[in-house]
Amino acid sequence: MTALSAGITPAGEGLDGIVWNILGQTYKPVASCDSCFAFDTFFPPGTFVPPHIHTTQDEFIRVLEGRFDLVLDGKPVVAKAGDLIRMPMNIMHGIWNKSEAPVRALFWVSPARSLETLFRRIHNVPDPAEVIRIAAEHEVEFLPPPG
């Protein structure tokens, strides 16, 4: 069992200096324990996370800068700086930065399960099909493209 440790993760840093490159996005873990896993993200213009489902976790996103276009439970929605996106487990969601500016956001999941392990495994993996295959081993199910 991993308990949450007291402390401060300095702005712009990841725990233990960790920075992951996930298909062109930057993820930095900022808190990790059994009950939750939180990570800062940087989405350059044109990057996205395809529609998927977390089968064992609730997920949240606080948009810090910029704007996300999302599909949430089959509906298109937009979230801008200051908004909190709530994605209950088993609800399909996809996230896109369709703007000309980067998006910064704080993501977290509860419980943590193996999402941190997934990110360690897909760091610098360039093939989306391989990322999808590995994700399925960590309770994240990507959905086939529409149509």
pTM of the model: 0.94
- 59 in any annotated domain: yes
- 1 in any annotated domain: no
Mean pLDDT over each residue of the chain, to the nearest integer? 95
C-alpha to C-alpha distance for 60 and 45, rounded to whole angstroms: 21
- 72 in any annotated domain: yes
Coil/strand/helix, residue 88: coil
- 43 in any annotated domain: yes
Encode pLDDT of 16-44 as tens digits.
Answer: 999 999 999 999 999 999 999 999 999 99
Domain that holds residue 124: 20-140
- 125 in any annotated domain: yes
What percent of the chain clears pLDDT 70, i.e. is strictly above it? 97
- Residue 107 sits in a domain whose CATH number is 2.60.120.10
- 4 in any annotated domain: no
- 95 in any annotated domain: yes
Encode pLDDT of 100-135 as tens digits.
Answer: 999 999 999 999 999 999 999 999 999 989 999 999
pLDDT band of 144, cuts 50, 70, 90: confident
pLDDT band of 1, cuts 50, 70, 90: low
Query: Using CB atoms within 10 A of its CB, is residue 8 exposed (0-12), middle (13-18) or buried (19+)?
Result: exposed
**Overall number of domains in the chain:** 1
- 6 in any annotated domain: no
